[in-house]
Structure formats: C-alpha cells, structure tokens
A and B are shown apart, each in its own frame.
Chain A
Amino acid sequence: MKEESTVERSSSLGSTIATIGSILIAVGFAWLIADNWNVFPDILKVLILLLITASALIGGVLFRTHDYYKIGSSLIVLGSLLFTLTIFLIAQIYNLSTGLQGNAWLILICWIGVALIAYSLDSSSSLIIAMSEFLIWIMLQHIAFAETSRNSSIFGPMALSYLLVGVIFYGLSLLHKSQNHKFHKVYMWWTLFYITIYTFIFTFLRLIPSIWPSGITMSSSALIFLIVLFIFALISFLSGVIASLSSGKTTIKEIIVFMGTIVLLLIMILSSSIVSSQVGTCYAKNCYDFDTKASCLVSNAGYDGRGCLWEQNQCAEKNCYSLKSESTCTSAQIEDQICKWQNNFCTTVSCNSFSTKDECLLNSKANCFWQLTSQNGDLGYCDQNYSRNIRVETPNSDEKYQTCSKLSNQRNSCLSKDICGWRGGELGYGYYGQTTSIPFSLWALWIFSNIIFIILILAIIAYGTMNGSQKIVNLGILFFTIDLISRYIGFWIDYYRSSIAILSIIGGILLIVGGWLIEKWRKNLIEKVHQNENR
C-alpha cells in the first residue's frame, strides 16, 4: 500500500514536470510566432489563429470528459473569445473597413459563431458572451444608422430595439424551460437582470429628454431594423409561451406580469417624446448657425461682435482665418485685423510687425498708429490702438449668452429671439450652470419611471421567493440598494449648495438604517426561499 502511494506520488510529480515542459514548449512557439508575425503570409496567420481556437475548444471538451469540468468550461470560453479575436484579426489582415458599420458586421459574425459554439458544446459561459456580443451589435448598428441620417433620433430606436431584445430573451427562456434545457436558467436570470438594468437607466432625469430629441423620428434603415427585430421577438415570445404553457412549466400569471412590464416600459419610452419639444438648451447663436447668406451677413453673432462673413457657401466668423482664397484674403476689410496670404493660408499680421512709419500708417484701418519714442524726429514703433477696439463698441457676447441661457427648457420663447439657437435632447442649463425651470411633464415622467422600477424590483423579489431562487432574490435586493444610493447621489448633485452638513448627516443615517433593514429583509427572504425549497 505504501509502495503504491509512493509510485502514485512520483507519477504525479512526473506528470507535473511534463506539463511544465509542455507549457515551456508552447510559450517558446508563441514567442517565435509573435516575433515573426509580420513575415508570415496572410493565409498562414489565419491558420495559426484557427489552430489556437480549435486547440482551446478540443482541450475544453477533453478536460470536461475527463471530469475536469471547470477547467474544460474555461477553455471553451477561451475558445469563444479566441474566435471573436480571429474574426477581428482577419478583418485586420485584409484591411477591412474600420467604420461603425464595418465593426457592426464583425460583431454580428462573432455573435453567430459564439452562439453556435455555446449550443454545440453546451457552454453557459459562452452563451453569456454571445448575448453580450448581440447587445453590442444592436448598439453599434444603431450608431451606424445614425451616421448616415444625422437628423434622426438615435437613443429612441435603440431603446425600442433593446426592449424587443428583452422580449426575445424571455421567449427563449420559456422555450428552453419547456425543453428542460440547462440554458433556461441562464436566459431567465439574464432576462431579469437585463430588464432591471434597462428600467434603471430610465430612472435618471437627465437621460429622459435625450431619448427623442426631436420627436418620434427615425431613419428608414432603423425602422426596417426594428420591424425585423419585432418579428423575431414575436416568434420567440409566442413559441416560448405556447411551449411552456403546454408543458405546464410556467403560469399565465407570470407571462401577464412580464407583458405588463414590457407595456409599461413601452409607454415610458414613447411618452418621453412629450418632453422633447420643451426641454433643451437655449444658446447664443454663433456664425455657423446661419445657413443663408442674407441671415449670415445681417447677424451680429460673431465672437466679440465683429459679425460673420459668407465664404464658400458657409457662414463663418469674420476674421482672416475664415478666408479661403488669396483674392478675398488680400482684399479683406475687417476692422481690427490685417489679413495676409501666406503658405496657402490667410493669416493676421500684427501692427508691431511694421518697422517703418509709412507702412504702419497704411494700416490705420486696423487701428495701427505710430508711437513716438523721442521728442524729435520719427523714431518710434507701430502699435495698435486698443481704446478703439471693436469689442467695447458692440453688444457684449456675454450678455447674449445670459439672455439666451435664461430661456433654456422654454423652446418657443427661445426661438422667438433672433440671437438665440435651440439644442434639444438635453436638460438645459441656465447662466453659470444652474438648472432653469424643469417642465412638469419631465418631473411626471421621472416619477413614473421610478415607480415602474420599484414595482419591477418588488416583482423580481417575489418571483425569486416563489421559485426558490436565491440568485434572483439577491438580484432584486442589489438593484434596490443601487437605486437608493443613486437617488441619494442625485440629491447631492441637485441640492449640495443648500447644506452639505445636513445632506451628509441625513444621508449617513439613511444609509446605515437602510443598510441594516435591507440586510434583514434579504435574510428573511433567503430563509423563505429555503423553506419553499424544503417543502
């Protein structure tokens, strides 16, 4: 028996040394490949990447079949990640587009591959990677749509798409549950996590106006994308509901609660367009805001009140740097400035650069004057008369800024002033950053979204308790805590000027008492979960 043990130990030592040897050889090869990567032909690079990905997957399966389940699963995750990298490296090898649409296509290919790996090898972790890639793809695709149609909303269609993704996840969770597939737990947990984080994002007051900055509008490509996604969501949801109800794996009550949540979220997203026409920043227009020659030339919008000029079909600041041709530069009559064409570029010359009195006085239009340095003769230097500077003779740009910023979050009043411009899709700020009047509709929407969030958290906790899932209960409690902390930080940001001391003391007491109560609540719920499990 003793001999047997010694033999076992020495064989284990031998295999450890052999493993270290194998790792060293692998590191040596990896080093050699990395050092000579630039001299390899493209096809060899692709083959090396494929070989490494395949090795990770084969190794993962071998470990799993030999009862090293965790190591095996980790290697399969590595294989999924390496597949993603392989796709990006192939795109690099063939110099494919780095644009948003190009990257969106790459992520889509990665998602398809990783999802298929996850299903063929039964890997929950790879499924999570696939789900994450799917979510990234949705985001990139919407940003790519916005690139070609700049005036359309980007966050609104994105929010609707992500809502449909939540429905797809739920449908898949029901479908897998009806088949007793092990992925049903992954889908269920991620559906709940996803819907909760989704609702949480909308509880921030400042984010609501950015959903539909110019009303419910979207590009035709985004609309087609939404329709396709809607069809997928409908198929996934209906097939999941039918399969799970006929197999008795779920209740109608659960489906109704989920549907209710989706409808509430949909109402919240669509109703945020009500505030889009009211909330925004009112700012003092600059030259680039004028798109016709007539409005450009009569405006007094330029920085320091010089005004604007019309150059190459564009309204620009009235200064030498805006002039794009030699003829307009040399013949320019801009007060306070002397323009000079130099190195294919129109630049300014200061009065100090004129060394003779004649040269200096030739540029008197730019307020150059000859400053004598001696009582007798012409000895002196060329200077600029700042007392006649245009800045003090024109309305101060700061005054315009004050006038316009007071009209933030009041679209109609803002646009009635010629000097003011309007930028929707954000919560407007007044002079020196203080918040101006926030419309009642925005407050109402914010309260509505927060109520939905609290109801959702309570529903998740109830669902977790009823189904005996400690993970789901913890998820609900986690988001409840995050909500408390973020609301507290929100109050700090809004009211810190009032009294830091009072806010700190009240906040501290609330967090200590709240923390104790939440932990007590969580323990009670977990106990109930265990009681349900034992029954």
Chain B
Amino acid sequence: MAQELDRKSTSKREQIIRLTLALIVVFGIVLIFVLYSAWPLITGKEIILATRPVDPYDLFRGQYLAINYEINSLPEISGVVVGDKVYISLEEDDSGIWRYKSASLVAPSRDFISGTVKSIYNNNMNIQYGIEQFFFERGAEFSTANMTIKAKISSSGQARIVELLQNGEPLQMRYKQISFTP
C-alpha cells in the first residue's frame, strides 16, 4: 500500500515537472516569437509610406488588406537576381511621406528598408518587405481612399506596420455588431 502511494506521488511529481517543462516551452517560444515580431516596433524609426491597397482573404488568418506600396516596384539594379535581399534608401518629402531614393545590394548607413526581390520584369524589380498585409477583425468597415501607412523600421531595415492613416490621420474603423439573432 505504502509502495503504491509512493509510486503515485512520484508519478504526480514527475507529471508536474513535465507540465512545468511544457509550459516553459510554450511561454518561451511565444515570448521569443513576440519579441522578434515586435522588435522593429520597439526599437525602430517611424516612417510613412504611400500605398495602393486591395482587399483579399487569408485562409489561416482571416480578413486582411493587401497593401501595394510605391516602393514595391523599383528600377532594376545591376547584378540583382530573384531571391536577393536588397536595401532601399528612403528620403522624406515635403508632405512627410518617405519615398525611394536609391537601391543597393549592401546596406546603406541610414534610413533604409530591406526587402526580397520576388520577380524582375521589364527592367523593374518587384520587392516584398513583409509589410504588404494588414489584418483586421471580421465586420470592420473603413474606406481605403487616400491611405498611407505608418511603419517602423529597425536598424537592420526590418519593417512593421504601426497603423493605417487616412489623409494623414489614424484610420477610423467601425465594427458591425455581431448578432446571433436575425
């Protein structure tokens, strides 16, 4: 009887140790992933980019706005191939929007965003920066006219969206009330 009790308490202790380990794994991975995702937002420099948006749907993650930036299609630079990482120098214009200045295969000293070349066609390269989508909850209503994007760029050129702007002001989203009755 005592042996049985001992075995049970050892087994319980083992289960608790295993559970603690599993929770450390879950919290650890999520924490690292959140830090990676939020790093440009915490440390980055704020810029505003001009857009041309469209509106698709992601099977895994739901409704999102696919954003096409002015800097998505740029003149081809020499020696670039599809899949290359490119660095785009940006400069602020009089209206506060950051626009294309130059592109290169090596990182410039300041004010740049990094992206990957997805295709090259007609001496133009299509570049993706990882900020081509903005997710929103189902039932959101907003206009996409005169839209610009406030983003933050880390020192390595990695960008994250901060918010959508309309006529320079934060975009107001209205949410439809979800109801289970007709």
Contacts and interface: CB of A to CB of B under 8 A. Distances in A.
Interface stretch (A18-26, A115-123, A405-413, A495-503): A115-123
A367 to B, nearest CB: 34
B140 A121 contact: no
Nearest to A39: B175
Q: Find the residue from B21, B30, B58 having the highest chain A CB count within 10 A.
A: B30
A191 B36 CA distance: 35
A46 to B, nearest CB: 6
A90 B34 contact: yes
A95 B122 contact: no
B133 interface: yes
Contact of B122 (A79, A98, A112, A314): A314
A246 interface: no
B127 to A, nearest CB: 12
Interface in B121-150: 122, 128, 130-137, 140
Nearest to A115: B25
Contacts of B140: 38
B37 A109 contact: no
Nearest to A85: B60
A373 interface: no
Interface string A40-51: 001000100010
Contact of B25 (A61, A64, A113): A113
A91 interface: yes
B83 A148 contact: yes
Interface string B11-49: 110011011011101110110011001100100000000
A120 B18 contact: yes
A99 interface: yes
B110 interface: no
B71 interface: no
B22 A121 contact: yes
A92 B61 contact: yes
A534 interface: no
A521 interface: no
Given A92-B61, A97-B128, A147-B118, A122 B26 contact: no
Contacts of A42: 38
B62 interface: yes
Contacts of B61: 88-89, 91-92, 98
Given A98-B64, A102-B130, A117 B22 contact: yes
Given A61-B18, A113-B25, A122-B18, A96 B130 contact: yes
Contact of A95 (B11, B18, B60, B131): B131
A98 B133 contact: yes
Contacts of A95: 64, 131, 133-135, 160-161
Nearest to B64: A98
Contact of A50 (B26, B62, B82): B26
A93 B134 CA distance: 9
B60 A88 contact: yes
Contact of B26 (A57, A91, A99, A314): A57
Contacts of B30: 46, 50, 86-87, 90
Interface residues of B, number: 44
Given A38-B137, A38-B140, A113 B11 contact: no
B106 interface: no
Nearest to A102: B130
A131 interface: no
A337 B61 CA distance: 47
B60 A64 contact: no
Contacts of B178: 35
A113 B128 contact: no
A83 B131 CA distance: 24
Nearest to B149: A95
Nearest to B129: A97
Contacts of A387: none
A343 interface: no
Nearest to B17: A120
A313 interface: yes
Given A37-B137, A38-B140, A97-B133, A121 B19 contact: yes
A54 B29 contact: no
Nearest to A38: B137
A113 B33 CA distance: 11
Contact of A87 (B11, B33, B122): B33
Contact of B128 (A37, A79, A99): A99
A88 B22 CA distance: 19
Interface centre among A53, A112, A116, A313 (most CB of B within 10 A): A116
A109 B133 contact: no
A61 B19 contact: yes
A90 B135 CA distance: 11
Contacts of B60: 88, 103
Contacts of A87: 29-30, 33
Contacts of B33: 87, 90, 109
A235 interface: no
A49 to B, nearest CB: 8
Nearest to A219: B83
Contacts of A148: 82-83, 118
A159 interface: no
A65 B9 CA distance: 10
A312 interface: yes
A350 interface: no
The 7 closest A-B pairs by CB, nearest first: A94-B37, A148-B83, A120-B22, A120-B21, A116-B25, A97-B130, A92-B61
Given A38-B173, A97-B132, A117-B22, 10 more contacts: A46-B30, A90-B37, A92-B64, A92-B135, A93-B37, A98-B58, A120-B18, A147-B118, A221-B83, A312-B122
Interface of B: 11-12, 15-16, 18-19, 21-23, 25-27, 29-30, 33-34, 37-38, 41, 58, 60-62, 64, 66, 82-83, 118, 122, 128, 130-137, 140, 160-161, 173, 175, 178
12 contacts: A50-B30, A57-B22, A79-B26, A87-B29, A92-B64, A94-B160, A95-B64, A95-B134, A97-B128, A98-B61, A112-B29, A116-B22
